[in-house]
Structure 1
């Protein structure tokens, strides 16, 4: 029964994750671009000329639609859906497996006179951390490709800006004529960056860093398992509190409604997102194309180098770029995911029970 329960949660998690991903993907694309946009401190003398203030989320969405079409907002959707299905499926499967073990351990402890038979907050934290770590190791290559595809046009635009700046410098030094400058600038303006495919992104990652490149950002991603750990600690504890409260009032039905699951999921994800957002920014920076701009401040050799350069060139605000967008996207996505997942699990268990009754009737 516990094995089928784990499978049900794995399949339900994958289904809920896919639905939530499709609904919120445009916000995710814009948020990734916000995270990887470099805006250096204004008090630095070495500010590059292309340092600009990023537009707001809604304006950025309209800009992407205007320059790249609707496809720009959904760049990387296919591998993202694959990653979501794999990530949620793997996560929820292992989460349920280790949750069952934790519940069994708690019950055994109660028999021995230790504890009340329920899993505490620390137990949920450990269960979520183990499941999250396994998920990260298995699915990191997919998210590297998704990040590349979401930020490809942004990177191409930065490269074009660098070429334009080089042409203007050459014109100011009288190495090229003004007419030639205008022709070349017009030629660059006519090149519209477009999203590229999964194979192209994979080849780019492999050519830059080999197989190891597909695990870029894995260190902050592993540290970020505390995000779902915090999320599920809040989620499970809140549900436990609700059930206990209803049981104390001796209500006939102690089950949790879909709306309550939605709200509890939103609160849980909000707390987890705010506390771990800087790690998400570092991970996105490492997974995006590094050759954005000519300044060394734009390129990172690893997690520690990224953190130091972000502190030095951008300050603490750099670690919270696009957080408001992420809060809206992740909280809404998590709420939809939890609600859909719980309903799918219920449906799966109903079908499983009916199947058992049919088999039992046939056998008898």
Structure 2
């Protein structure tokens, strides 16, 4: 098995385990990112562009409890199946191409060393380029899966907003003082309260996206997602540089360990992911807004036509804090998930190498034993 394929499969396995463990936090974080909360605005706003209602964003723990209370434990795992498919495909594709181009970069560095240039190892810029290329290829292949996952994670939230818009419209229509109007109003409101959300699976999400925007709808948010390739690029730059420093330090200690332990890999990856997440989080919020179901209602602040439109409206109606909604949840989820992923991936690679080495040794011993038996028989 090639080194690139081995890392790709190990990355897919590690990604699946990390996704299952941290998925509830990811679901809540996606809902936090797509929740619109307006900043305080002056009364000089035009009547045609009324501001969204002011709401206070609840905390992560409260939102988890609310999801469980209203939707059951299954609500925290909405879209898990396509998410696991996306994680396996995403991590497999990413780590395959990352290892493939990493091998190329290392070969180039060795060739440059023979010419008297460099120390034979790729520099920080090389790691950035390698991670960026792998990330771009990963995004182009897997973006449709994440559009579907985002729709499934935010479907209940979107349905609730639709019901709120209907309720407000009915109240506005039947707000007269007559007893007949009040009776009709109460009846209409009771009907809305009795309405239950329709079952919503991956097929529903695919059909909804296709009806809204056709095939191109499955690549919504592709621009901020491609820009966000710098997230894993920054992450791998920090990780590889830290790992290189650790190995260089270990090389001076003849009696010490040569390779990083699972705990050290976990710690290095946590540090790398933390730095990458903080620097690129606003792009993640914009991407989630574009991929989620666009709000239905009269307020244009709730609908985005593209990346630039989303950025402009978020600045205008929500201010800069809107770009950092749910960042605390995301830091916990992404750092923990990335650390588990790296640790599991590295251990899977080590296990495969160990098993392969043991298998070769056993096979070699068997062949040697058979040769001795054959020699004894001939003699």
- TM class by shorter-chain length? over 0.9
CA deviations over 1:103-147 (Å, ceiling 9, x no partner): 100000000000000111111010000000000000000000000
Residue 198 of structure 1 and its aligned partner are, at CA, apart by: 0.1
Question: What is the CA–CA distance in structure 2 between the aligned matches of 1:126 and 1:13, rounded to whole Å?
Answer: 19
Question: What is the CA–CA distance in structure 2 between the aligned matches of 1:104 and 1:325, rounded to whole Å?
Answer: 40
Map residues 39-118 of structure 1 onto 2, 5 A cutoff.
39-45=37-43, 48=51, 50-118=53-121
Residue 182 of structure 1 and its aligned partner are, at CA, apart by: 1.3
Larger deviation: 44-53 or 256-265? 44-53
Corresponding residue for residue 256 of structure 1: 260
SS at match of 2:174: helix
Q: Structure 1-normalised TM-score?
A: 0.95
Residue 49 of structure 1 and its aligned partner are, at CA, apart by: 6.3
Partner of residue 225 from structure 2, selected from 200, 215, 221: 221
Corresponding residue for residue 373 of structure 2: none
Name the CA shift for 1:180/1:49 in 2 (closer, same or farther; >3 Å): farther
Map residues 344-355 of structure 1 onto 2, 5 A cutoff.
344-355=348-359
Once superposed, what is the RMSD of the aligned Cα atoms?
A: 1.7
Corresponding residue for residue 250 of structure 2: 246
Q: How many residues were matched structurally?
A: 362
CA deviations over 1:215-270 (Å, ceiling 9, x no partner): 00011000000000000000111111111112123334221111111111110100
Map residues 210-359 of structure 1 onto 2, 5 A cutoff.
210-359=214-363
Residue 361 of structure 1 and its aligned partner are, at CA, apart by: 5.4
SS at match of 2:200: coil
Residue 355 of structure 1 and its aligned partner are, at CA, apart by: 3.4
Q: Structure 2-normalised TM-score?
A: 0.92
What 5-or-longer segments of structure 1 have no aligned partner?
none
Matched, 1:167 2:170: yes
Matched, 1:17 2:15: yes
Name the larger-Rg structure. 2
8 A Cα contact 1:266 1:332, kept in partner: yes
Question: What is the CA–CA distance in structure 2 between the aligned matches of 1:203 and 1:336, rounded to whole Å?
Answer: 34
8 A Cα contact 1:6 1:96, kept in partner: yes
SS at match of 1:293: coil
Moved over 6 A (4+): none
8 A Cα contact 2:18 2:337, kept in partner: yes
Larger deviation: 186-195 or 55-64? 186-195
8 A Cα contact 2:38 2:53, kept in partner: no
